[in-house]
Amino acid sequence: MEELKEFCIPFSSLKLGSNFFNFKIENSFFEAFNYPRYEFCSINLALDFRKENSVMDLRFHYQGNTNVGCDRCLDLVSIDFNYEFNCLIKFLYQNEEIIKDDIIYLPEESYEYNISHLFYEHFLLNFPKKVVHKKNECNPKQVKLMEQYLKRDSDSEFDPRWEKLKAFKKEN
């Protein structure tokens, strides 16, 4: 994660109250996580880092778009998004970072925090699981090819075992 040092926030030197940060996220961000799914990516991430004496409140807001291959025809689909999420950072007497729900527990001696993995996880969890074009926008050549391989012969005999199973289902 050496390439993502720009996402490291040195909170020990921040003033109390709100501190604002802006980040521009492109393909190189996802490549650092070894996740090169997006053909094009342009995301603006705004972070309101609210520092208090014993807790820090991180409020993320990101918007932008990505181009990713359609799951049906493999042509590129542009996906626009606009999301917000929050998390808290607290300190404990421990040796390692612990994350429970939306609360991050850091060792007392911590002085900085890298937010890249928080954004990465939230982005992937909220990105659509199935990406397809709107109706009639898929590549017609690909759709025709898929239909060719999906056609079933209407003359083929129906398997009689299914009828017996349906009859069994009706009896019960």
Q: Report whether 116 contacts 1 (CB < 8 A).
A: yes
- Alpha carbons 170 and 66: distance in angstroms, whole number: 50
> Is residue 134 pLDDT above 80, yes or no?
yes
Q: Which comes out higher in pLDDT, residue 152 or 169?
A: 169
> Is residue 9 pLDDT above 90, yes or no?
yes
What Å distances lie between residue 121 and 25, 35, 114, 116, 143, CA to CA? 14, 12, 13, 9, 33
Residue 97 has a pLDDT of: 87
> Is residue 155 pLDDT above 70, yes or no?
no
Q: What percent of the chain has pLDDT over 90?
A: 58
Per-chain mean pLDDT for the chain? 88
Distance, CA of 80 to chain centre = 13
Helix or strand (DSSP H, E) at 160: helix 160-171
> Is residue 2 pLDDT above 60, yes or no?
no
Residue 172 has a pLDDT of: 65
Mean pLDDT of 143-163: 74
Mean pLDDT of 117-138: 91
Residue 94 has a pLDDT of: 84
- Alpha carbons 124 and 45: distance in angstroms, whole number: 15
Cα distance from N-terminal residue to C-terminal residue, the chain: 59
- Alpha carbons 63 and 99: distance in angstroms, whole number: 25
Q: What percent of the chain has pLDDT over 70?
A: 93
The pTM of the full predicted model, rounded to 2 decimals, is 0.79
pLDDT band of residue 3 (cuts 50, 70, 90) is: low
Highest mean pLDDT among 84-88, 94-98, 100-104, 154-158: 84-88
pLDDT band of residue 146 (cuts 50, 70, 90) is: confident
